[in-house]
């Protein structure tokens, strides 16, 4: 009997422990995510040591749960895939060690997956991808534009020079007294506010695809502190709306410019900030007005955050490029795609 193409995928790069079973490129049979967000909330950010401890506690349970839900046994599987970077080293090591042990015990090939490739391939779970494509990756740790000529080929054409978009959301959220992570709440506030502050749009008119969000963040923080010192109360929803408009404006403008220059078939938006309603709406509207022939693929919210289903989907592209690892696979916390202009 022909063996099924069935990958068990593992993701532990940050604060979600996740194990999934993915069949035939993108059919997700199970995708179990154990979030630790509540444990980190009281610290206002992720505490790496706490993250590692949670992963250790959860990982074996999730292996069992994922196989049970997908109704498969280790004998049915064809490969094991795991995120080996980028991320927190201690967190990554838990997933890498667990995946290696499982692959060794069941004599299965091991596929190392870049977490950011996973975010892009979350889109394939939704629909087949047409290449070439541009992916706008926006998360708590990354903001980058990736050009993909074909399946499994990644080149960075632009990235943030300082803060990631999600990081900027979380930092200004802290100033507004919101819970970590605050992207979602700021997004909701922005929808009922007005853009009254006109915050700066850094690098908007520069002839490159890079971003910078630290100036915007400082401008926001200074505005709030100055008002506090003068005893003036600012409207939080207007601050949120003005901040979000500045972020979305830069992301949409640069992404559209990249799509035009690279003449692509598809735009994928991925990562935690891809959940942003303002960004989704503006991209859909602008793309429809300016380049309606380009397919816009934004994964549903449950696939925008970290999950192992997307790692399994990306692993199928790695197989095409014969990218396998041995038992010496290590975590690479600063793993990154190559930058095109550095080739």
Contact 18, 31 (CB under 8 A): yes
Q: Which does 187 bind (CB under 5 to 8 A by kind): ligand KG4, Zn ion, none?
A: ligand KG4
- Closest separation in Å from C-beta 113 to Zn ion: 12
Radius of gyration of the chain (CA): 20
φ/ψ of 14, rounded to 5, equals -135, -110
31 in contact with ligand KG4 (CB under 6 A): no
CA 267 – CA 255 distance, rounded (Å)? 9
Q: Work out what residue 11 binds among ligand KG4, Zn ion, none; the CB cut-off runs from 5 to 8 Å by kind.
A: none
134 SS3 class = strand
* Interaction between residue 141 and ligand KG4 (CB under 6 A): yes
Distance of CA 174 to CAs 177, 185, 235, 279, Å?
5, 11, 15, 21
Give least dist CB 139 to Zn ion, A: 4
Nearer to Zn ion, 13 or 244 (CB): 13
- If the CB atoms of residues 158 and 166 are measured against ligand KG4, the closer one turns out to be 166
Using CB under 5 A as the binding criterion, the count of chain residues that bind Zn ion stands at: 2
Smallest gap from residue 241 Cβ to ligand KG4 (A): 13
Number of residues that bind ligand KG4 (CB under 6 A): 19
Measured from the CB of residue 194, what is the shortest distance to ligand KG4 in angstroms? 18
* CA–CA distances in Å: residue 288 to residues 31, 267, 284, 292, 294: 32, 12, 6, 4, 8
Nearer to ligand KG4, 67 or 310 (CB): 310
Q: What is the rounded CA–CA span in Å between residue 151 and residue 132?
A: 9
Choice between 90 and 193, CB closer to Zn ion: 90
163 binds ligand KG4 (CB under 6 A): no
Q: Which of 114, 166, 158 is nearest to 135 (CA)?
A: 158
272 to 311, contacts with Zn ion by CB under 5 A?
306
Angle at 15 between CA 243 and CA 184, to 5 degrees: 25
Q: How far is the CB of 135 from ligand KG4 (least distance, A)?
A: 13
Q: Is 18 in the site for ligand KG4 (CB under 6 A)?
A: no
**Residue 143 CB, nearest distance to ligand KG4 (Å)?**
10
**Nearest in space to 306 (alpha carbons), one of 12, 45, 64, 63:** 12
User: Stretches 93-101, 131-139, 314-322, 328-336: which one binds Zn ion (CB under 5 A)?
Assistant: 131-139
Residue 282 binding result from Zn ion, ligand KG4, none, given CB thresholds of 5 to 8 Å by partner type: none
Contact positions with ligand KG4 (CB under 6 A) in 264-293: 271-273, 275-276
Q: Give the start-end residues of each E strand in 12-151.
A: 16-23, 27-35, 79-85, 110-114, 133-138, 143-148
Q: Which helix (H) or strand (E) holds 8?
A: strand 6-11
Instruction: Summarize as ranges the residues that interact with Zn ion (CB under 5 A).
Output: 139, 306
């Amino acid at each position: 009997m022909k063996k099924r193409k069935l990958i068990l995928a593992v993701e532990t790069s940050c604060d979600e422990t996740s194990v999934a079973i993915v069949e035939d490129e993108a059919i997700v049979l199970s995708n179990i995510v154990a979030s630790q967000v509540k444990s980190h909330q009281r610290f206002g950010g992720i505490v790496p040591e706490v993250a590692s401890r949670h992963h250790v506690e959860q990982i074996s349970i999730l292996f069992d749960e994922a196989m049970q839900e997908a109704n498969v046994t280790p004998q049915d599987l064809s490969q094991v895939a795991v995120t080996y970077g980028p991320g927190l080293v201690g967190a990554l090591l838990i997933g890498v060690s667990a995946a290696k042990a499982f692959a060794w015990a069941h004599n299965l090939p091991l596929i190392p997956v870049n977490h950011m490739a996973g975010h892009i391939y979350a889109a394939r779970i939704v629909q087949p991808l047409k290449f070439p494509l541009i992916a706008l990756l926006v998360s708590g740790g990354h903001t980058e534009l990736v050009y993909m000529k074909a399946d499994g080929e990644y080149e960075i054409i632009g990235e943030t020079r300082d803060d990631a978009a999600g990081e900027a959301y979380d930092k200004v959220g802290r100033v507004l007294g919101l819970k970590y992570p605050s992207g979602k709440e700021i997004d909701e506030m922005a929808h009922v506010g007005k853009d009254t502050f006109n915050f700066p749009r850094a690098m908007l008119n520069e002839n490159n695809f890079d971003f910078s969000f630290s100036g915007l963040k400082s401008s926001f923080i200074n505005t709030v502190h100055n008002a506090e010192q003068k005893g003036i109360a600012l409207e939080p929803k207007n601050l949120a709306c003005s901040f979000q408009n500045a972020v979305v404006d830069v992301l949409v403008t640069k992404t559209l410019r990249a799509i035009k220059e690279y003449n692509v078939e598809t735009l994928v938006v991925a990562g935690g900030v891809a959940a942003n309603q303002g960004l989704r709406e503006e991209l859909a509207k602008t793309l429809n007005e300016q380049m309606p022939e380009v397919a816009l693929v934004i994964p549903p919210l449950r696939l925008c955050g970290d999950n192992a289903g997307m790692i399994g989907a990306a692993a199928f592209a790695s197989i095409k490029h014969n990218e396998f690892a041995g038992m010496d696979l290590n975590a690479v916390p600063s793993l990154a795609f190559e930058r095109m202009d550095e080739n």
